[in-house]
Amino acid sequence: MAADKNSDQEVESEEHEQGKEIEVDEEALPSAAAAVHEQIRQDGEKELERDSMALLWSAIAAGLSMGASLMAKGIFQVHLAGVPGGFLLENLGYTFGFVIVIMARQQLFTENTVTAVLPIMHKPTGSNFLLLFRLWGIVLAGNLTGTALGALAFNHMPIFDEATRAAFTHISEKVMANSPGEMFANAVISGWIIATMVWMFPSAGSAKIIVIIMMTWLVALGDLAHIVVGSVEVLYLVFNGTISWHEFLWPFALPTLAGNIIGGTFIFALISHAQIRNEISLKAKAEAAAKKKQAERQEKNAENSQQ
């Protein structure tokens, strides 16, 4: 994902100022957690610097792909009715959209509540915040556009039988049964879980798909609110006339969006950054002290050689 950089889209950081890459070598950093942090921060800088149109199209694709979660869950619900353990398998369908989006490297808003935030926490300048809000705005708009197109297709294209359509409605109405406060609380936990999943990726290796399934299945089992998957479900009700656009915004979209951001950014990302900030600061101070000591030693040697 090469960035189309210009002076307005370059993240401000010490590494850019010094013309070097972010250090992600575990042996050169104070701890394994610091290496994970720096890997995610490096990924975050790349995302913040991406071209706007590339971000938008990737985000629209992600919104469309998230329709796979509602589709799989609805189909499973129809065919697993009355089967022991059917609830567990039905909610496994929720993971399908996440697997597609993440493995295809499409832009998902809730991933960016932690990935793109770490560079800003590292250097919270005005231009970095503008880059973050630009990224969030484009990706959220693209995700919602994609989910709307998916929900519209599910409603009006002759794809599914009546039983599956009824399952889509049942799943979506279950989301809307929550109050705004419940939406918000559920979304905080959902945002935390998705951020935890992102934090696990650098260490996951070939098990990445297992991590995606495990963490997003947990979101489904807990009936937690997610702004992108939930938008497919709730917009399905909007387009079939069950609810209004006003009801999409409240009680669903606004409380869910706020909860996802708080869970992923203000809780998880802040704590994750705090745990390594002191380590990296101490390492930087130690390196500065070592360089100063080495310079003093060289200066002293130079004076001795002149005598």
Is the model's pLDDT at 191 over the cut of 80? yes
Cα-Cα-Cα-Cα dihedral sign, residues 240, 231, 233, 177: negative
Provide the 3-class DSSP secondary structure of residue 29.
coil
Q: pLDDT class for 2, splitting at 50, 70, 90?
A: very low
Q: pLDDT class for 4, splitting at 50, 70, 90?
A: very low
pLDDT at 36: 76
- List the structure tokens of 29: 């950093």
Rounded distance, CA 216 to CA 69, Å?
Answer: 10
- List the structure tokens of 251: 């009680």
Average pLDDT value for the chain: 86
pLDDT in tens, 92-115: 999 999 999 999 999 999 988 888
Cα-Cα end-to-end distance for the chain: 58
pLDDT at 268: 75
Whole-number Cα distances in Å, 273 to 38, 41, 123, 232: 10, 10, 12, 32
Give the lowest-confidence range in 23-37, 107-121, 222-236: 23-37
pLDDT in tens, 112-162: 888 888 888 878 889 999 999 999 999 999 999 999 999 999 999 999 999
Helices (H), 22-125: 32-48, 52-65, 67-79, 86-92, 95-103, 118-122
Question: 98 with 209: CB under 8 angstroms?
Answer: no
Q: Of 9-13, 126-130, 149-153, 201-205, which has the strongest mean pLDDT?
A: 149-153
DSSP 199-264: HHHHHHGGGHHHHHHHHHHHHHHTT---HHHHHHHHHHHHHTTSS-HHHIIIIIIHHHHHHHHIII
Average pLDDT for residues 30-48, to the nearest whole number? Answer: 78
More confident residue, 268 or 18: 268
Give the lowest-confidence range in 267-271, 276-280, 286-290: 286-290
Average pLDDT for residues 239-262, to the nearest whole number? Answer: 95
